[in-house]
Structure 1
Amino acid sequence: MRIALFATCLADTLFPEAAKATVRLLERLGHEVVFPLEQTCCGQMHVNTGYQREALPLVRRYVSVFGGFDVIVAPSGSCVGSIRHQHETVAARAGERGLAERARDVGSRTYELSELLVDVLGVEDVGAYYPHRVTYHPTCHSLRTTRVGDKPLRLLRRVRGLQLVDLPAAEQCCGFGGTFALKNAETSTAMLADKISGILSTGARVCTAGDVSCLMHIGGGLSRRGADVRTVHLAEILAATEAP
């Protein structure tokens, strides 16, 4: 299958290993991955902050760049949620009915990594090997907007050598929420403290999730606590193998 990769802003600029791991994984499974160089931000931050007019050119760009692909994947439940549920609305509110229809169509072909693997490619055992004690944080957008459900957990359970431990209050927000963490710093910090306590209680050495944004927030909290716990994107674990 020919799959287009939407890397997302954070992965492209700060956490490229998540995007690289997505490519390695899909290529190992026998698929061709294409990276359109014209891609830019999906506009989620603009929409969530109330700048829908400013997000419109980004919606138009996404539809233009990815409209010719049958399958698009992103290592981010958050961005996929925006593409599916915000793009059409932004275009419709701007009176661009044609763009809204195209946005809905392209959004229906855009998948978060775990749902692409499980729902589209029909695979749960991706041949990964990762000998570590791991806990999984289901990010808010992947859980409530993209609705990936237990697909990441099903994939993690099939990773050889991995010991998966449940995270207490897993569905509780980590406190990031994009600009929420900036505008409501005290509340965000309190929410993060609860999440960090939960992670530390598991004895896990690795915390994973499907969004580097939340992992960035959690990783910062772990670092400030001096915790010996790493944050690793789901794609990096699934791309890991015994071979060097």
Structure 2
Amino acid sequence: MKVEIFIPCFIDQIYPETAFNTIKLLEKAGCDVVYNPKQTCCGQPAYHAGFWDEAKKIGLKFLRDFSEDCYIVSPSASCTGMIKKGYDDLFTNSTEHNRCRNIQSNIYELSDFLVNVLRKDYFGAELVGRAVYHDACSALREYKIKDEPRKLLAQVGGLEVVSMHDQGTYCGVGGTFAVKFEGISAAMAEQKVQNAMAVKADYIISTDSTCLLQLQGYIDKHQLPIKTKHIADVLTSGWANI
């Protein structure tokens, strides 16, 4: 199966290892992965800041960087949700309407694609420890995935996934929210990390690197004995000769 991969700008610049692990994971699942090096951003930062004209320019480039007739997979529920939902505001009844709809129907967040399209949940990963899964707001409320990441994590050898208090609570990043409301944002990150530590978790795992950066910032500042990991990095943990 041919799959085009969309690596969000955030992952490209800050977590490139997650991008490479996403490719490894899809290849292990039997996909022929294609990466277009001309790709950039989906336009979400501009869109949420209210700059819709600028977001549309970036979105138009996205639509032209990817195919209409091929699966597109991304290790970000946030960016995928932007394309599936936000692009309705930008391209409905425009000259790109049909192309946009085709791409919207073909793009998937990584865990959704693995579980619901490929029908695979075991990849031979091993990670010893206890973890909590953080439901990113965009993943839970916009893209609407909940069970898929948990099904994948349940198959990771040595990993115990437990629930924490306020499981679906916001981490406080929210793009410009963390900049405009720094104090509130930091307090929300603190609450999320402390809830994870209360159940003695070694890891906080999520589908979205923006959430993980927010939480890891609090962890690093206070030198806490817990780590954040993207689900793609977890699902490729413990592989030999990779």
- The equivalent of 1:162 in structure 2 is 159
Residues 132-211 of structure 1 mapped to structure 2, 5 A cutoff: 132-211=129-208
- The equivalent of 1:233 in structure 2 is 230
Contact residue 136 and residue 207 of structure 2 kept, 8 A: yes
Deviations 1:147-177 (A, max 9, x none): 1121101110011111112122110000000
Cα deviation, residue 91, structure 1: 2.0
Cα distance in 1 for partners of 2:208, 2:123 equals: 19
- The equivalent of 1:129 in structure 2 is 126
Cα distance in 2 for partners of 1:204, 1:80 equals: 28
- The equivalent of 1:217 in structure 2 is 214
- The equivalent of 1:78 in structure 2 is 78
Deviations 1:15-61 (A, max 9, x none): 11111110011111221111111111000011001000001111111
| Count of residues paired in the alignment | 241
- The equivalent of 1:62 in structure 2 is 62
Cα deviation, residue 222, structure 1: 1.1
Q: Confirm whether residue 9 of structure 1 aligns to residue 9 of structure 2.
A: yes
Cα distance in 2 for partners of 1:236, 1:88 equals: 31
Cα distance in 1 for partners of 2:240, 2:9 equals: 30
Cα distance in 2 for partners of 1:91, 1:114 equals: 27
Aligned with 2:158: secondary structure? coil
Aligned-partner residue type, residue 234 of structure 1: I
Cα distance in 2 for partners of 1:17, 1:149 equals: 24
Cα distance in 1 for partners of 2:95, 2:124 equals: 42
Cα distance in 1 for partners of 2:120, 2:164 equals: 24
Contact residue 5 and residue 74 of structure 1 kept, 8 A: yes
Aligned with 2:229: secondary structure? strand
Contact residue 88 and residue 99 of structure 1 kept, 8 A: no
Cα deviation, residue 126, structure 1: 2.1
Contact residue 68 and residue 106 of structure 2 kept, 8 A: no
Q: TM-score, normalised by structure 1?
A: 0.95
Cα distance in 2 for partners of 1:23, 1:56 equals: 28
Cα distance in 1 for partners of 2:50, 2:74 equals: 24
Percent of residue pairs bearing the same amino acid type = 34
- The equivalent of 1:114 in structure 2 is 111
Contact residue 59 and residue 103 of structure 1 kept, 8 A: no
Q: Which runs of 5+ in 2 are unaligned?
A: none
Cα deviation, residue 242, structure 1: 4.5
Cα deviation, residue 69, structure 1: 4.5
Aligned with 2:138: secondary structure? helix
- The equivalent of 1:53 in structure 2 is 53
Residues 64 and 131 (structure 1), Cα distance of their counterparts in 2 relative to 1, 3 Å cut? same
Q: TM-score, normalised by structure 2?
A: 0.96
Aligned with 1:231: secondary structure? strand
Deviations 1:110-140 (A, max 9, x none): 1000000011101112222212221110100
Cα distance in 2 for partners of 1:49, 1:232 equals: 27
Contact residue 68 and residue 102 of structure 2 kept, 8 A: no
- The equivalent of 2:25 in structure 1 is 25
Residues 122 and 185 (structure 1), Cα distance of their counterparts in 2 relative to 1, 3 Å cut? same
Q: Which runs of 5+ in 1 are unaligned?
A: none
